[in-house]
Amino acid sequence: MRSKLQKIGLVSAGVLLGAALTLNYSAVADREATQALPLDELRTFAEVYGKIKSDYVEPVDDKTLINSAINGMLSGLDPHSAYMNADEFKDLQVGTQGEFGGLGIEVGMEDGFVKVVSPIDDTPAFKAGLKPGDLIIKLDDSPVKGMTINDAVKRMRGKPGTPIVLTILRKGVAKPFTVTLIRAVIKVKSVKYKLAEPGYGYIRITQFQERTGEDLAQALETLQKDNKGAPLKGLVLDLRNDPGGLLNSAVGVAAAFVKPNSLVVYTDGRTPDSKMKLNASPEYYLRGNQADYLKGLPAWTKTVPMVVLVNGGSASASEIVSGALQDDKRAIIMGTQSFGKGSVQTVLPLGNGTGIKLTTARYFTPAGRSIQNKGITPDIVVEEGKVTGADSDPNLNIREVDLDRHLNNPLSTTNKPAAPPAVIITPEKPANPVKPEKLEPGEIVSKNDFQFNQALSLLKGLNIIQTREK
């Protein structure tokens, strides 16, 4: 089964193709076409091709026309399928290893502009204050209108240390404004952790990369050491603003907390290779001859009370993990509705250094829920505590269902409406808007993070209840 995973290269994609690609790649065997070619449409294509070659205002070479046709054919399918030239395909490979050049933002397209989905922690975009929902309307002096997403991403990439000026349109701000960013080699630390209080651990996963499962295992072991060798009483797993990443890494993270061989996720598509059930066992989360990084985990990781934090920036692999832990009743999901990306991309090399990223399946939680366009509904809704200007505008929260050409939810007509959460907690709004608190050096979560504090309080309450019952 592991070889099958490597062969088809199933990927739980990051939110969108952007300045921070978070996908995996793998060789995929060519498949013969099973349908007759549409001759009438191909004649039309040839006619248009000929007209461009003969009548366009400037000469256009064949390679440019063919590449443009391929790009348009894929980008017209859904927001996540795309054609990658040789440079983009190379960047894709580097991105899965947690290091790449650029600005550190997940982006999409809306109305011809680049839309910020999520800035990545500790990157130039994050430090400059870019926000989800921001529209980038100019790159240096070049208007974005008319560019493809690949063109825009290529312009945002560049030699580390070089500047780029972004012109931003932000809801709630009267006029566009400019931000100058310095390109950097983006090194994303996938797993961050700390002992929040004696007995209570905090782990944040920023992206699902090749080493995420191993880094998680190390974090759990270190937390026990920091807790004077004693098992933890509670654990907060923070998946907020985690755009996704590698499917096998998501399975490995879930496998750290559920019983062995429990179903984590299954996929369904048109081809036999796209129909898979992935369980919490090494063959589904290890790659190649990799040693089982979960084998030596302490027993308490399977039973420790857990709260998983999610929000509108939690997508794909984040939703796989939170959905699996929710269906297994292994953790309480807290926060706000997740992004709703329930599709799987396969990356197919084309043999000339280029490749395509093609949506080949939808994924489903162990209980058979499709997250596509819906997302994960938290067990306890806790609104974010930031209240400042545009941050308080719910219209800034973009999700999969808001993207052009998004896939539908196959169960939307048969699914029963999701049960409303039992509890909704909203922070009190201060009399005057406040700015988000900046983290102190070495800190990974703010002491005034309302959602985190609610999660920690819940875990303490659960321990009090359990103690009384005993």
Any bridge partners for residue 271, and if so which? none
Q: Distances from the Cα of 414 to the Cαs of 239, 340, 376, 411, in angstroms?
A: 29, 18, 17, 5
Single-letter code of the amino acid located at 18: G
DSSP label of 372: T
Residues 173 and 133 sit within 8 Å (Cβ to Cβ): no
- Rounded to whole angstroms, how far apart are CA atoms 336 and 376? 9
Q: Say what angle helices 39-55 and 62-75 make with each other, to 10 degrees.
A: 130
Interior angle at CA 425, CA 420 and CA 427, nearest 5? 145
Residue 385 neighbours by CB under 8 Å, 6+ apart: 427, 448, 449, 450, 451
- Rounded to whole angstroms, how far apart are CA atoms 398 and 378? 17
Sheet strands (E) in 65-134: 82-84, 99-102, 105-110, 113-119
Residue environment code for 387-416, b if the CB has 16+ CB neighbours within 10 A, otherwise e: beeebeeeebbbbbebbeebbebeeeeeee
Task: Phi first, then psi: give them for residue 221, nearest 5 degrees.
Answer: -65, -40
430 in helix, strand or coil? coil
- At which residue do the structure tokens 């070479």 appear? 61
Question: Tokens at residue 117, please?
Answer: 């989905």
- Rounded to whole angstroms, how far apart are CA atoms 138 and 133? 15
- At which residue do the structure tokens 């993270």 appear? 253
Interior angle at CA 101, CA 96 and CA 105, nearest 5? 80
Residues 118 and 394 sit within 8 Å (Cβ to Cβ): no
Residues 124 and 184 sit within 8 Å (Cβ to Cβ): yes
Task: Phi first, then psi: give them for residue 345, nearest 5 degrees.
Answer: -110, 140
Single-letter code of the amino acid located at 183: R
Catalytically annotated residues: 316, 327, 341
